[in-house]
Amino acid sequence: MNPALLPLAVALPITGAVAAPLLSRLSSRASLIASLIALVGPAALLATFAPAVYGGRLSGHALGNVGPVRGAELGITFTAEPFGLTFALLTATIGSVLLLYSLSELGGLASHEAGWYACLTQLLLAAMIGTALTADLLNLFVWFEVAALASYGLAGFFLERPWALEATFKMMILTNLAGFCVFVAVALLYSGHGALNLGQLERSLSGGVRTADVVALGLLLTGFGTKAGLMPFHGWLADAHTAAPGPISALFSGLMVNLGVVAIARLTLDVYTAGRTVLPAILMVLGAASAILGAALALAQDDLKRLLAYDTISQVGVLLTAVGAGTMRAVTGLVYHLVDHALFKALLFLCAGAIVHATGMTRLSQMGGLARHRPIVTGAFLVATASIAGVPPLNGYASLGLIHDSLRAEHPVAFGAVLVAQGLTVAALGRAAYLAFFRRRDDDYDPLERMRPGMLIAFGTLALGCIAFGVLPNLVVSHIAAPAAAVLLDPNAYATIALAGSTRLTLTVQSFDYFAPDELLISGACLVAGLLLAFWYVRRSKEPIVVTGLRRLHNGSVNDYVAYSALGLIGCTFILLAWRR
């Protein structure tokens, strides 16, 4: 394992991004095929690090061999450690699957459109891989900006659609504000500590946290919370996910929002270590609120992709409650659910994109009877829905079970919030499945074209992932999730490799009892309650007043969304400062 090869995992997709518009002069498919090759390469490269890294051997590489001088890191370090490697491998692998899907669904694009589509997609994926591997705060900001710029082009890719331009405008305003917050935080930390390396920052902050450091923490939470779609910083997310092409919506929801979660988890657990600030409690509150309100808003949607987008906010909330809990069990569940969320949410958005592509319909009220016309899409949607609902033997059951275990005793309020969110999620997706696939539709659809091979492979790969990560939970826990949790909970080990060193990670044994009666009961209760709520909601002619109030707060005004983010920034920073005093 040579950590000097790590930069290639970012350099290859960037090279592919440069080549894609040039190759599009040959044909539209040439750029997409070359892009697929440029992503398979990083996935294969990162896979070679897996045996040693998950076995506890950690190392860092200073780019350009600009290593530490008198304990101060002057350059940028990439690290080979389980948490970052998990997200980087996930990004490269699922990104390859989504590009393969694009070859089938969007292969008819004009050559120049296909070239720029492939270019922007690879830049976004390269930024996410860079986020996973970097141990430098300014470099983290750079990847944040690269991801933002690429996502603007992808969200507004269909320029002829006015709502796509509107969604991109909202996304630009909110994520640019978020980027500014991160940049100011970087400046505050550098001015006080003379360091941008995360390991060096952790060791410097161990000596005491200044007021400026707390303000920087509030700014970082706002910036990366916006990228994650955490409430109240979420205003851009639903519009952007709805307007983007199907594979890009899957990329946004399954992977890009995880960029924010990865950054927040790293800063909370490896830099601003738990117990020194009130940040874990803030994450618990914001996570619980996002989990419930996001799921409630999903239940109220008629647009299928918007429904899935609000459910993404709910799932981010669940992930952030695990970060806030900060125990070995909770963080193991966080890593497991991060992987699971990428699988089942990407699959759900591909299903939605396939429906829109085939029928031109986006609203559930227009759909019905698709189970007969699209049995493969129906099966994939049901697998993903059962996964996100925590139905055994699919993957969500194990990851949610670990999070439940960690919250039940020490954080009963957050535990209750996660259960309520799970029931609402079942209701929202159960309602969507009935209305789109099983409800009788009087008018038949126009003849639908056959699904192409790349689409079938993508559906099969993601569905198989949902099943495999569900039926082999202890293999995932012991070989992936627990090592990743261990490095997040060992700031000293991470600081060592962030300063271009190497170390051995102390691994702890974790397991998941698949047949634990309490978890089976919770899963069954949430499933039954959610399905009953879906049945009630479908038959109800008028939506509940609480849901109406939530919808009115989400009126599409970018001014309101900026105000929500500003209030979130002020509130979080005030609480952090008040606790410190």
pLDDT given for residue 109 in this prediction: 66
DSSP string, 304-352: HHHHHHHHHHHHHHHHHHHHHH-SHHHHHHHHHHHHHHHHHHHHHHHHH
Contacts of 453 (CB under 8 A, 6+ apart): 104
Report how far residue 422's alpha carbon sits from residue 326's, in angstroms, rounded to the nearest whole number: 21
pLDDT given for residue 106 in this prediction: 64
Read off the pLDDT of residues 96-111 as tens digits, 9 standing for 90 and up: 898 888 877 666 666 7
pLDDT given for residue 553 in this prediction: 83
pLDDT given for residue 358 in this prediction: 77
Q: Which of 433, 214, 420, 200 is nearest to 307 (CA)?
A: 433
pLDDT given for residue 448 in this prediction: 66
Q: Which of 500, 250, 259 is nearest to 353 (CA)?
A: 250
pLDDT greater than 90 at residue 360: no
Averaging pLDDT over each range in 117-131, 535-549, 553-567, which range is the top one? 117-131
Q: What are phi and psi of 177, to 5 degrees?
A: -60, -40
Structure token digits, residue 416: 């209750």
pLDDT greater than 80 at residue 447: no
Residue 484 binned pLDDT confidence (cut-offs 50, 70, 90): very high
* Cβ-contact 147, 159 below 8 angstroms: no
Report how far residue 488's alpha carbon sits from residue 500's, in angstroms, rounded to the nearest whole number: 17
Report how far residue 486's alpha carbon sits from residue 328's, in angstroms, rounded to the nearest whole number: 7
pLDDT given for residue 309 in this prediction: 92
pLDDT greater than 70 at residue 114: yes
Q: Which of 163, 100, 199 is nearest to 556 (CA)?
A: 163
Structure token digits, residue 400: 């949610």
pLDDT given for residue 313 in this prediction: 93
195-204, 328-337, 434-443: least confidently modelled range: 434-443
pLDDT given for residue 189 in this prediction: 92
- Give the N- to C-terminal CA distance of the chain in Å, as an integer: 46
Cα-based distances in Å from 550 to 283, 553, 559, 579: 21, 5, 17, 30
Q: Compute the mean pLDDT over every residue in the chain, rounded to the nearest whole number.
A: 86
For residues 261-287, average pLDDT: 84
Percent of the chain with pLDDT over 70: 95
231: left (phi over 0), alpha (psi -120 to 50) or beta: beta
The better pLDDT of the pair 241, 315 is held by 315
Question: 82-105 and 453-471 are packed helices; what angle lies between their axes, rounded to 10 degrees?
Answer: 150
pLDDT greater than 60 at residue 275: no
For residues 141-149, average pLDDT: 91
Q: SS3 of 366, please? A: helix
Percent of the chain with pLDDT over 90: 37
Read off the pLDDT of residues 8-32 as tens digits, 9 standing for 90 and up: 999 999 998 888 888 877 776 777 7
* Cβ-contact 118, 30 below 8 angstroms: no
For residues 234-251, average pLDDT: 86
Read off the pLDDT of residues 243-253 as tens digits, 9 standing for 90 and up: 888 788 888 88
pLDDT given for residue 293 in this prediction: 92
Q: What does the angle CA 441 – CA 445 – CA 448 come to, to the nearest 5 degrees? A: 140
* Cβ-contact 295, 431 below 8 angstroms: no
Report how far residue 507's alpha carbon sits from residue 486's, in angstroms, rounded to the nearest whole number: 6
Strand order, beta sheet including 77-80: 77-80, 57-62, 502-504
Read off the pLDDT of residues 146-196 as tens digits, 9 standing for 90 and up: 999 998 888 877 766 777 788 888 888 999 999 999 999 999 998 888 888
Provide the β-strand partners of residue 60.
79
Where in the chain are the domains? 176-276+544-581, 278-471+509-539
Report how far residue 155's alpha carbon sits from residue 171's, in angstroms, rounded to the nearest whole number: 9
Report how far residue 121's alpha carbon sits from residue 147's, in angstroms, rounded to the nearest whole number: 9
Provide the β-strand partners of residue 303.
363
Residue 566 binned pLDDT confidence (cut-offs 50, 70, 90): very high
Residue 454 binned pLDDT confidence (cut-offs 50, 70, 90): confident
For residues 268-291, average pLDDT: 83
For residues 515-543, average pLDDT: 86
How much is the CA Rg of the chain, to the nearest whole Å? Answer: 22
pLDDT given for residue 503 in this prediction: 86
pLDDT given for residue 428 in this prediction: 93
pLDDT given for residue 107 in this prediction: 60
For residues 64-91, average pLDDT: 82
Read off the pLDDT of residues 189-206 as tens digits, 9 standing for 90 and up: 988 888 888 988 888 888
Determine which helix (DSSP H) or strand (DSSP E) holds 218, and give its type and residue range.
helix 211-228
pLDDT given for residue 70 in this prediction: 67
Contacts of 493 (CB under 8 A, 6+ apart): 58, 487, 503, 505, 506
